[in-house]
């Protein structure tokens, strides 16, 4: 995050820069993210999931929410810089919906959102670009219109809902006002467990990439990052996905070389490059849809406002259509 800030500063961007430090991809979500009850729930989730201190998480969240309000009061224009992946598109929709709801909105709002850059063969984010490349993006942003703002509000309402049905309906609509949104929201749907074996698309991909042999965990992280680049997964999110199929009642994978994957602010363990993952026998049976991960292990996680809890009556991706089914 600091690198993004330093690069933007070095490229000659004027004015205040607010780097949004909040993974809206994870944990419980609501319409008012600064709501004290929701914030406590999120802080507890982030502490459990990644080891982020709860008070620090709450403090940073409230600080940046207040900074956004102050920024919107004091400026003539705001430019949002965002990437194409799910991680960024969810943040973009939240911020657009927040800015749309502000009273007496008089500032000019613009957006720079890209999924490629000339000369960069494998583009995954703005953090790849050097100062000269970022400078080339100056004033390439476009005004945000009412259609984009209303769409962002619609997306956030659907994402914050306690059932995925609004999101399923939304995916059938025209989302082209925000050109990278449809693929991002399709990726969001793939986070739900499959009706065939109870695995999310990324859990399935991990088992597939490991195959019949052991695989170094860092190589696996790189392969998943490239194959599923439209998610925008960071290392902490990836370790959590691994642990969701490793630290469960009946593990689908096992780790050799060590046991505890890195938490927030922790360095990689010594000789981490030698740590490897392999599929268990049960993992092989789940991967081929002979057994069901949810029936075996249950789950306790959130996708937006949807709490997926238990071993049955869990919202899943319908294997036949693009919708959802409870089973």
Write down the H helix ranges in 247-292.
281-287
Distance of CA 140 to the CA centre of its chain: 26
- For residue 104, the 8-state DSSP code is T
Q: Which residue has the tokens 């025209």?
A: 174
Q: State mean pLDDT over 269-297.
A: 97
Q: Which residue has the tokens 């859990």?
A: 203
Residues sharing a CB contact under 8 Å with residue 27, sequence separation 6 or more, in sequence order: 41, 42, 45, 46, 49, 302
Q: Could you give the percent of the chain with pLDDT greater than 70?
A: 97
CA–CA separation, 151 vs 170, rounded Å? Answer: 10
Q: What is the pLDDT of residue 24?
A: 93
Q: Which residue has the tokens 């965990």?
A: 217
Secondary structure (DSSP) of 139-172: T--EE--HHHHHHHHHHHHHHHSSSSHHHHHHTT
Q: What is the pLDDT of residue 320?
A: 63
CA–CA separation, 164 vs 161, rounded Å? Answer: 7
147-188 per-position pLDDT tens digit: 999 999 999 999 999 999 999 999 999 999 999 999 999 999
pTM of the model: 0.92
- For residue 314, the 8-state DSSP code is -
pLDDT of 8 > 90? The answer is no
Q: Could you give the percent of the chain with pLDDT greater than 90?
A: 71
Tokens of 143: 């005004």
108-125 per-position pLDDT tens digit: 999 988 877 887 877 777
Distance of CA 34 to the CA centre of its chain: 19
pLDDT of 318 > 90? The answer is no
Q: Report the range of poorest mean pLDDT among 96-110, 194-208, 210-224.
A: 96-110
CB 206 within 8 A of CB 253: yes
Residue 8's nearest CA partner among 123, 130, 91 is: 130
pLDDT confidence bin for 1, thresholds 50/70/90:
very low
Q: Are strands 77-83 and 108-114 parallel, antiparallel or unpaired?
A: parallel
pLDDT of 322 > 50? The answer is yes
pLDDT of 37 > 60? The answer is yes
44-93 per-position pLDDT tens digit: 999 999 999 999 999 999 999 998 888 777 788 888 988 899 999 999 99
- For residue 195, the 8-state DSSP code is T
pLDDT of 4 > 70? The answer is no
- Vertex 261, ends 258 and 264: CA angle to 5°? 145
Q: Report the range of poorest mean pLDDT among 5-9, 98-102, 264-268, 277-281.
A: 5-9
179-196 per-position pLDDT tens digit: 999 999 999 999 999 999
Q: What is the pLDDT of residue 2?
A: 44
For the chain, give the number of residues.
Answer: 327
DSSP H helix total and E strand total for the chain: 13, 10
Q: State mean pLDDT over 21-28.
A: 91
CB 203 within 8 A of CB 245: yes
Q: What is the pLDDT of residue 260?
A: 96
pLDDT of 14 > 90? The answer is no
- Vertex 97, ends 96 and 102: CA angle to 5°? 95
What is the rounded average pLDDT for all residues in the chain? 91
């Amino acid at each position: 995050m600091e690198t993004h800030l330093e690069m933007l500063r070095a490229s000659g961007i004027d004015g205040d820069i607010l780097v949004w430090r909040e993974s809206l991809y994870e944990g419980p979500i609501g319409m008012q993210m600064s709501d004290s009850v929701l914030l406590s729930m999120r802080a507890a989730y982030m502490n459990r999931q990644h080891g982020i201190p709860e008070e620090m998480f709450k403090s940073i969240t409230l600080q940046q929410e207040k900074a956004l309000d102050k920024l919107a009061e004091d400026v003539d224009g705001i430019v949002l810089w965002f990437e194409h992946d799910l991680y960024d598109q969810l943040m973009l929709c939240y911020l657009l919906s927040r800015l749309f709801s502000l009273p007496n909105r008089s500032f000019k709002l613009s957006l720079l959102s890209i999924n490629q850059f000339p000369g960069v063969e494998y583009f995954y984010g703005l953090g790849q670009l050097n100062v000269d490349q970022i400078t080339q993006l100056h004033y390439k942003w476009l005004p945000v219109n009412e259609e984009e703002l209303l769409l962002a509000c619609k997306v956030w309402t659907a994402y914050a809902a306690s059932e995925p049905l609004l999101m399923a309906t939304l995916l059938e609509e025209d989302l082209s006002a925000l050109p990278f949104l449809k693929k991002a929201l399709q990726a969001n749907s793939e986070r739900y467990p499959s009706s065939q074996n109870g695995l999310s698309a990324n859990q399935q991909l991990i088992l597939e990439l490991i195959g019949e042999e052991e695989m170094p965990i860092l190589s696996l992280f790189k392969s998943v990052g490239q194959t599923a680049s439209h998610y925008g997964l960071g290392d902490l999110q990836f370790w959590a996905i691994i642990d969701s199929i490793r630290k469960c009642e009946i593990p689908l994978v096992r780790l050799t070389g060590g046991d505890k994957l890195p938490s927030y602010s922790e360095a990689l363990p010594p000789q981490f490059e030698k740590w490897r993952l392999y599929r268990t026998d049960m993992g092989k049976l789940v991967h081929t849809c002979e057994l069901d991960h949810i029936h075996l292990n249950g789950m306790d996680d959130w996708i937006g406002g949807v709490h997926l809890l238990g071993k049955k009556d869990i919202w899943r991706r319908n294997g036949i259509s693009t919708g959802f089914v409870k089973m």
